């Protein structure tokens, strides 16, 4: 039976946590743009840098703290529906504080007016200390549930989890429910009772917690995945009388369709990899080319969250519905394809500021990866810093590669393994929607053309994150050409020095031939690609669809 997405929101108010985050911004934009009849959207915003919630919202809308008004994501609303921003109401709230640190007046307003709660706030730092991760992701979720119990007319709670909450399993299943639950699948049992770990925080100091964290994590790589699993268990035990649905996104990437294909506002996850590769500071990673990247566009995640709320209201299940929002099973994209794409993209569309020639290689062997990393990056960075010290310049290269190394190690677990996230719920939910809603809230990842998406993604990094101008492309190509010539010149000098040192007794002809052979081999290895070709978009095609809303109006 079909349902209309807007039905649950018309005349209703929404409470959104995580509104200032990457996903939260997209949810806010989508609700304001598509549902004129929505009453209000309450944004739970934490006090920061001496600014309360209203001051931070003012910053979001008018100044430049998180800057909704200047962020191009909100261009179409600012231009065509500027009064929609009046529906945003800031409420002070902190997931890390007892009772969310909420003002009694704000609490009263929420309990009397809110109908839909979307809980997307979480600490997504993979290396977060266990105490902070548990407080934010587990205790914070319990506090949101307690708040929901006080809401007089709550229609639905949407909890945003992660597909990697159960990454200790090679395969995980969901629990998509059409009418009534008739399946055996439950939220996976967490490795420990959440309350036991919460109780331990009250008497255990940080040093002890740090020491026992590896034991607590077990087969999980970090505190993020563990605490998201514990949050699901908390939902299961504490929200039994609340209409709730859980959405598990995989790796959230840049925007696919509207309003701005390729839009992103952070360098987390694959965005950090793509940026580092483009800058030439990351050429090798430890990973498997055959593993599925399982990237899901942020607008797909926002759309399914919005639709899932209405879906949950239209059914009467006996268990908590769980939907995976992932691409690996429906439209798989391998890391190997991304490696080839980035290599070809940056040859044609280099970044304005390259510190080295971009290239990409994945190594299954960690030893081979380490050899490449130290020879290509760490050792040259150290030598460069030593040289800088002698001429009185700042030493920044080793520090830079310290950050790159941290990113590599953080993502190592995910680039070297593969998972199967059962994702039947996405197409089934999509099929239940009306044709109009399927177009407006499209999350059908089967429709994504990965080559086109990756092109927009990397262009989005250049445009929205690095603030590059396409008009400077010729200058960027000239700079890349100089870097290539510099690389060959350095190789020539190194080979000449090596031959003159260790081949002093060779004939001159032998020395010259050896040098020429080494240079030809180096040129072939560094400049000639034997990889399959991937057709790239033209700049004309990209500029025509870069603003999707205007593209739809034109067509």
Q: What is the pLDDT of residues 431-481, one digit of tens each?
A: 999 999 999 999 999 999 999 999 999 999 999 999 998 889 999 999 999
The backbone torsions φ and ψ at residue 407, rounded to the nearest 5 degrees and listed phi first, read: -65, -45
End-to-end Cα spacing for the chain: 31
DSSP percent split of the chain into helix, strand, coil, nearest 5: 55, 10, 35
pLDDT tens for 493-513 read: 999 999 999 988 899 999 999
Long-range contacts, 378-383 (Cβ 8 Å, 24+): 378/405
Would you say 225 and 198 are in contact if contact means Cβ atoms under 8 Å apart?
no
Distance CA(298)–CA(291), nearest Å, equals 21
217: helix, coil or strand? helix
> Global pTM?
0.91
Would you say 510 and 522 are in contact if contact means Cβ atoms under 8 Å apart?
no
Give one DSSP letter per residue of 389-444, joined into a string.
HHTT----HHHHHHHHHHHHHHHHHHHS---EE---HHHHHHHHB-HHHHHHT---
Q: Where are the beta strands (DSSP E) in 428-518?
A: none
pLDDT grade, residue 380 (50/70/90)?
A: confident
Q: Mean pLDDT throughout 1-9? A: 90
Quote the tokens at residue 225.
């995945």
Share of the chain above pLDDT 70, in %: 92
- pLDDT beyond 80 at 294: yes
pLDDT tens for 23-44 read: 999 999 999 999 999 999 999 9
Q: Which residues contact 72 (CB under 8 A, 6 or more apart)?
A: 260, 263, 464
Among 95-109, 122-136, 141-155, top mean pLDDT goes to 141-155
Q: For all residues of the chain together, what is the average pLDDT?
A: 89
For each of the domains in the chain, give its residue range(s) and CATH number, in order of start: 12-44+88-265+295-332+419-445 (3.40.50.720), 335-414+469-546 (no CATH)
Cα atoms found within 13 Å of the Cα of residue 127, Cβ hemisphere only: 9
Select from 550, 352, 349, 330 the least CA-distant residue to 454. Answer: 349
pLDDT tens for 352-372 read: 999 889 998 998 888 999 998
- pLDDT beyond 90 at 489: yes
pLDDT grade, residue 311 (50/70/90)?
A: very high
pLDDT at 547: 63
β-bridge mates for residue 461, sequence order? none
pLDDT tens for 508-551 read: 999 999 999 999 999 998 898 888 999 998 888 888 777 654 54
Sequence length of the chain is 555
74, containing H or E segment: none
Quote the tokens at residue 297.
């566009």
pLDDT at 52: 57
β-bridge mates for residue 362, sequence order? 285
Q: Mean pLDDT throughout 135-142? A: 96
pLDDT at 481: 95
Q: Where do we find the tokens 């050792």? A: 379
């Amino acid at each position: 039976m079909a349902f209309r997405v807007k039905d649950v929101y018309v005349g209703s108010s929404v409470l959104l946590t995580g509104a200032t985050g990457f996903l939260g911004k997209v949810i806010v934009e989508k609700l304001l743009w598509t549902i004129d009849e929505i009453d209000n959207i309450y944004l739970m915003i934490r006090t920061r840098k001496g600014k309360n919630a209203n001051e931070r919202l003012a910053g979001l809308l008018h100044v430049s703290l998180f800057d909704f008004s200047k962020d191009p994501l909100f261009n179409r609303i600012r231009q065509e529906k500027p009064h929609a921003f009046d529906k945003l109401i800031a409420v002070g709230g902190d997931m890390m504080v007892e009772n969310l640190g909420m003002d009694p007046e704000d609490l009263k307003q929420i309990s009397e007016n809110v109908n839909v709660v979307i809980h997307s706030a979480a600490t997504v730092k993979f290396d977060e200390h266990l105490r902070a991760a548990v407080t934010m992701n587990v205790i914070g979720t319990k506090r949101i549930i307690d708040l929901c119990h006080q809401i007089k007319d709550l229609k639905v709670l949407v909890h945003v989890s992660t597909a990697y909450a159960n990454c200790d399993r090679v395969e995980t299943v969901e629990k998509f429910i059409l009418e009534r639950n008739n399946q055996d699948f439950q939220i996976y049992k967490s490795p420990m009772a959440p309350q036991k770990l919460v109780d331990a925080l009250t008497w255990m100091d940080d040093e002890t917690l740090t020491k026992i964290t590896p034991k607590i994590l077990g087969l999980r790589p970090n505190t993020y995945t563990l605490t998201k699993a514990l949050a699901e268990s908390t939902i299961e035990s504490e929200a039994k009388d609340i209409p709730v649905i859980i959405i598990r996104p995989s790796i959230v990437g840049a925007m696919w369709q509207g309003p701005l294909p390729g839009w992103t506002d952070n360098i987390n996850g694959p965005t950090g990899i793509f940026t580092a590769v483009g800058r030439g500071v990351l050429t090798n990673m430890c990973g498997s080319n055959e593993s599925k990247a399982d990237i899901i566009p942020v607008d797909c995640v926002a759309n399914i969250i919005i639709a899932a709320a209405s879906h949950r209201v239209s059914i009467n299940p006996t268990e908590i519905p769980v939907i995976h929002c992932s691409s690996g099973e429906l439209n798989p994209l391998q890391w190997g394809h991304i490696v080839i794409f980035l290599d070809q993209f940056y040859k044609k569309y280099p970044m304005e500021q390259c510190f080295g020639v971009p290239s990409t290689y994945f190594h299954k062997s960690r030893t081979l990866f380490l050899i490449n990393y130290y020879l290509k990056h760490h050792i040259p960075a150290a030598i460069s810093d030593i040289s800088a010290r002698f001429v009185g310049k700042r030493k920044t290269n080793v520090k830079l590669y310290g950050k790159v190394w941290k990113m590599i190690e953080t993502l190592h677990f995910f680039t070297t393994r593969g998972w199967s996230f059962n994702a039947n719920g996405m197409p089934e939910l999509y099929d239940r929607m009306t044709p109009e809603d399927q177009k407006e809230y499209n999350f059908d990842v089967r429709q994504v053309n990965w080559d086109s998406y990756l092109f927009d993604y990397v262009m989005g990094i250049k445009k929205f994150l690095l603030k590059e101008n396409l008009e400077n492309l010729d200058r960027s190509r000239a700079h890349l050409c100089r870097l290539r010539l510099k690389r060959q010149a350095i190789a020539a000098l190194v080979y000449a020095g090596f031959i003159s040192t260790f081949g002093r007794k060779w004939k001159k002809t032998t020395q010259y031939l050896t040098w020429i052979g080494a240079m030809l081999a180096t040129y072939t290895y560094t400049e000639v690609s034997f990889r399959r070709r991937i057709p790239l978009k033209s700049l004309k095609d990209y500029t025509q669809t870069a603003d999707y809303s205007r593209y739809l109006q034109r067509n």
